[in-house]
Chains A and B, each alone.
Chain A
Amino acid sequence: MQITDETIEYVGILAKLELSGEEREQAKKDMSNMLDYVGMLNELDTEGVEPMSHAFPIHNVFREDEVTNGDDRENMLLNAPEAKEGTYVVPKTFN
């Protein structure tokens, strides 16, 4: 399958990735090769086969919605690239 500039642009938006010119050409090539390869699945007749997400029948697992963890805000914020007054700092999102 040929990957167009438009498709790779769209995938970049979905994946939140910004590719340089060279990376972009490589990505087009790699994705095209990979899609050709995985396209092999079309040889298989899967008519009437239920898609399986989980290998064995585990159904909904319920538990009481109880808070068991404590407030760990200060420690968690230590990992933030930027934090202020107990919150994460992000670039301005509107003017």
Chain B
Amino acid sequence: MGMELMSMTAVELGKKIQAKEISAVEAAQAAIDNIKKRDDTLNCFVTVDEEGALKRAKQVQAEIDAGRLSGPLAGVPVGIKDNMCVEGMLTTCSSKILSGFTPTYTATAVEKLHTAGAVIIGKTNMDEFAMGSTTETSYYGATKNPWDTSRVPGGSSGGSAAAVAGEEVPYALGSDTGGSIRQPAGFCGVTGVKPTYGRVSRYGLIAYGSSLDQIGPIAKDVTDCAAVLEAICGKDDRDSTSVSESGSDFTSALTGDVKGLKIGIPKDYFLKGLDTEVKAHVLEAAEALKLQGAVIEEFDLSLVEYAIPAYYIIASAEASSNLERFDGVKYGYRADSFTDLHNMYKKTRSEGFGAEVKRRIMLGAFVLSSGYFDAYYMKALRTKALIKQAFDRAFEKYDIILGPVAPTTALKLGDSLSDPIKMYLGDVYTVSVNLAGLPGISLPCGYDSKGLPVGLQLLGRHFDEKTMLRAAYAFEQTRQYERAPFVKGGQANE
């Protein structure tokens, strides 16, 4: 019974709960059962709140029975990436330095899901402080990909993506600073949306690169993502970069009609470094949209190779500033022995942060230091302006930009850790979207000869998620959702 419940989409499950065919408690129990059964292998969750989830599910069911909760997500279980604060629930950013941290408040996006009747099952694993593309930099161990447990799920929201593909929860929240929702969704054969910067409040999201971070949904399909986005979006007084924009009735955009839609394919996304099978599947997806009446054209986006260096300078600079707060005074880990206050800060941070986090903090401190600030940081901000202009020009001609999510399918565990720059290059198709503040969606568009999912990425104009979701939905209608071998029992399951 449990297995079947979690193989439904969030919206399907929500309908059955509204129809009283399934109770919110049964749904929560099914999620917990599947986690108990599978998470020893997959390691998607850092924290599972069994008792709290079941108690909450009972309350939600009572609200539903009383006719006070009727939304599509009421009673549906959800996993929350471990960088979003949830009051009373351990929140670690998958870092040792936040071990034992229990927030006294809840992130706005999570609070909004709560209002919609969501039942939070627990916190999902991630790269430490969202710095990584594989979920291997987690202090709490790597997450495994349900398509092949010898491979990474992608990252940094790898726990969220693998928990959805692994059918431990129907949907999850992730965060995306340089591709951290889209790339793991692509690697795990599920669907993820990085909304326009400002669409979703960042209040309560533990900051990495504040000018780039954005919370979004990871789910089995476009319909779920639209429903979740509708629930979490909107202006929030507690995040002054959040905006109140119209066009947030995302579900209404899922018409299946793409006739006359202008889709641009950046030629420079299909040059060196792109796996030939990934390329073939992505171009097939473009063909499928063309058959439905979209107008497809190739163009030169330009500046593609400069996005990664600009991104790593800006993100590291912001990280070095944002992560100053972890000093062993107010929360989390404190070194056992030290000589004085300054030594306590240094020892706490040196023992509490992992290698990748230290690497980025140091790079950030360097590019912000006097003498190097103009040459690196300001140069990166000027490059960011040029990249934004390149996208603006493209969106004068096209409604949608179509390309791959990542140059390859999921890599083997351990393959990326030895060479940081090689890992960074995997973000080539995703980081520019964060620099330009654009919305992007990742959804499955095929499987390579190893049987691994290939991700398709569609980008829209600022605050035009609706057109992007419309195109994604139309493409999705040409395919069937494929379940991961791990949940079908094709791979050693127990």
Chain A contacts for B420, CB-based, 8 A: 30, 33-34
Within 8 A of A (CB), among B305-360: 305-306, 309-310, 312-313, 320, 324, 327-334, 338-347, 349-350, 353, 358-359
Q: How far is the CB of B367 from chain A (nearest CB, A)?
A: 8
Q: A11-B369, A41-B309, A93-B340 are in contact. Are A55 and B421 (CB under 8 A)?
A: no
* Closest Cβ neighbor of B346 among chain A residues: A18
* Closest Cβ neighbor of B303 among chain A residues: A44
Residues B365 and A40 in contact, CB atoms below 8 Å apart? no
Residues B327 and A16 in contact, CB atoms below 8 Å apart? yes
Residues A51 and B381 in contact, CB atoms below 8 Å apart? yes
CA distance A63 to B303 in the complex (A): 39
Residues B386 and A46 in contact, CB atoms below 8 Å apart? yes
CA distance A56 to B309 in the complex (A): 21
* Closest Cβ neighbor of B380 among chain A residues: A41
Q: A46-B386, A79-B332 are in contact. Are A58 and B198 (CB under 8 A)?
A: yes
The segment from B140-148, B217-225, B235-243, B275-283 that touches chain A is B235-243
Q: Does A91 contact B (CB under 8 A)?
A: yes
Q: Does A72 contact B (CB under 8 A)?
A: yes
Q: Quick one: CB contact mask for B135-154 with A, threshold 8 Å, 1 for yes?
A: 00000000000000000000
Within 8 A of B (CB), among A14-33: 14-19, 23, 27, 30-31, 33
Chain B contacts for A31, CB-based, 8 A: 359, 362-363, 366
Chain B contacts for A38, CB-based, 8 A: 309-310, 312-313, 376, 380
The 4 A-B pairs of least Cβ separation, nearest first, read: A55-B437, A51-B381, A81-B334, A52-B385
Number of interface residues of B (CB under 8 A): 68
| B residues lining the A interface (CB < 8 Å) | 100-102, 104, 197-198, 211, 237, 240-241, 243, 303, 305-306, 309-310, 312-313, 320, 324, 327-334, 338-347, 349-350, 353, 358-359, 361-366, 369, 376, 378-386, 388, 420-421, 435-438, 462
Residues A30 and B359 in contact, CB atoms below 8 Å apart? yes
Q: A11-B369, A15-B320, A18-B346 are in contact. Are A44 and B383 (CB under 8 A)?
A: yes
Residues B386 and A88 in contact, CB atoms below 8 Å apart? no
Q: How far is the CB of A31 from chain B (nearest CB, A)?
A: 6
Task: Give chain A's interface secondary structure class.
Answer: loop
CA distance A1 to B211 in the complex (A): 28
CA distance A55 to B391 in the complex (A): 11
Range for the number of chain A residues in contact with chain B: 35 or more
| A residues lining the B interface (CB < 8 Å) | 7-8, 10-12, 14-19, 23, 27, 30-31, 33-35, 37-42, 44, 46, 49-56, 58, 61, 63, 72, 75-76, 78-82, 88, 90-93
Residues A41 and B306 in contact, CB atoms below 8 Å apart? yes
Instruction: Tell which of B313, B341, B359 touches A91, judged by Cβ atoms closer than 8 Å.
Output: B341
Residues B350 and A53 in contact, CB atoms below 8 Å apart? no
CA distance A44 to B56 in the complex (A): 55
Chain A contacts for B359, CB-based, 8 A: 27, 30-31, 34
Chain A contacts for B309, CB-based, 8 A: 37-41
Q: How far is the CB of A30 from chain B (nearest CB, A)?
A: 6
